[in-house]
């Protein structure tokens, strides 16, 4: 059960998981970057920063350690004859661009038209996060999510629309905040049939 007693043993909190060890060369690389910015990595406030940054980046990029397709392995065929669009809207995500390693923050809309089975809706979000937690470009992220669902579920159609802001544009370079980039990938009937494409885009709110 999910109450507080789960995290207590004899009145004491369960010990946290051990911290991931950080290789010396990784920590030193981060110290080098700190020095290059003009700071002193031996200053008190920065002493533990290399380890923190390294562990944070291991978490940001944990998608490299998983196969997103595995989330689509279990499907359900008892759907009462349902054969209309399944849509999960406004899935928040965060990634990092491979060019500047700056944050990509946005939301995704994922839809598919089932053939004879469906998948648990949380699995669509897990597929997204599996690819987002890597160094990315938005165009590739959009294609990877769509292709994974297309190959994994064999549906009649797949639609993925991603809207995101990019730190490499808002915090550096042109420094233009408030700009959203939209990418989409349509497959199957959503690509070949104009009426189906308009229907799914209207459901997403892009029609």
Residue 136: CB atoms within 10 Å:
21
Active site residue: 129, 138, 144, 199, which one? 138
* Rounded mean pLDDT, 117-136: 97
Alpha helices in the chain (DSSP H): 24-37, 49-60, 121-132, 138-153, 167-170, 189-192, 194-204
HEC sequence for 36-55: HHCCCCCCHHHCCHHHHHHH
- CB neighbour class for 114 (10 Å; exposed up to 12, middle 13-18, buried from 19): buried
SS3 29: helix
**How many CB atoms are closer than 10 A to CB 173?**
12
Annotation says 100 is catalytic: yes
Catalytic residue among 97, 129, 136, 144: 97
Among 39, 51, 66, 100, which one carries the catalytic annotation? Answer: 100
Please tell me the predicted confidence (pLDDT) of residue 192: 98
Residue 168 falls in the annotated catalytic set = yes
Q: Is 148 a catalytic residue?
A: no
In this prediction, residue 118 carries a pLDDT of 96
Catalytic-labelled residue, pool 39, 51, 117, 168: 168
Q: How far is the C-alpha of 202 from the C-alpha of 162, rounded, in Å? A: 15
Residues 6+ apart with CB under 8 A from 25: none
137 vs 19, 69, 144, 159, CA distance in Å?
A: 30, 20, 11, 18
Active site residue 166: yes
Q: Report the pLDDT averaged over residues 175-202.
A: 96
What proportion of the chain, given as a percentage, has pLDDT over 90? 83
3: pLDDT confidence band, cut at 50, 70 and 90? very low
138 catalytically annotated:
yes
pLDDT at 71 over 80: yes
Average pLDDT taken over every residue of the chain: 92
At residue 18 the predicted structure's pLDDT band, cuts being 50, 70 and 90, is confident
Q: Quote the pLDDT of residue 17.
A: 66
CB 127 within 8 A of CB 71: yes
Active-site pick, 28, 59, 99, 139:
99
């Amino acid at each position: 059960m999910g109450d507080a007693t789960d995290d207590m043993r004899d009145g004491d909190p369960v010990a946290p998981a051990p911290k991931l060890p950080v290789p010396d060369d990784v920590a030193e690389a981060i110290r080098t970057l700190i020095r290059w910015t003009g700071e002193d990595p031996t200053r008190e406030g920065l002493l533990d920063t290399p380890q923190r940054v390294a562990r944070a980046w291991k978490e940001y990029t944990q998608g490299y350690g998983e196969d997103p397709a595995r989330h689509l392995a279990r499907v359900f065929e008892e759907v009462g004859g349902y054969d209309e669009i399944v849509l999960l809207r406004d899935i928040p995500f965060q990634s990092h661009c491979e060019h500047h390693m700056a944050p990509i923050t946005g939301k995704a809309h994922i839809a598919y038209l089932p053939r004879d089975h469906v998948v648990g809706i949380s699995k669509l979000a897990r597929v997204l996060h599996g690819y987002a937690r890597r160094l990315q470009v938005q165009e590739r992220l959009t294609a990877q999510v769509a292709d994974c669902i297309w190959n994994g579920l064999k549906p009649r159609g797949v639609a993925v629309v991603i809207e995101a802001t990019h730190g490499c544009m808002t915090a550096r370079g042109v420094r233009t905040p408030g700009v959203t980039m939209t990418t989409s990938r349509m497959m199957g009937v959503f690509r070949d049939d104009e009426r189906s494409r308009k229907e799914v885009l209207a459901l997403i709110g892009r029609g």
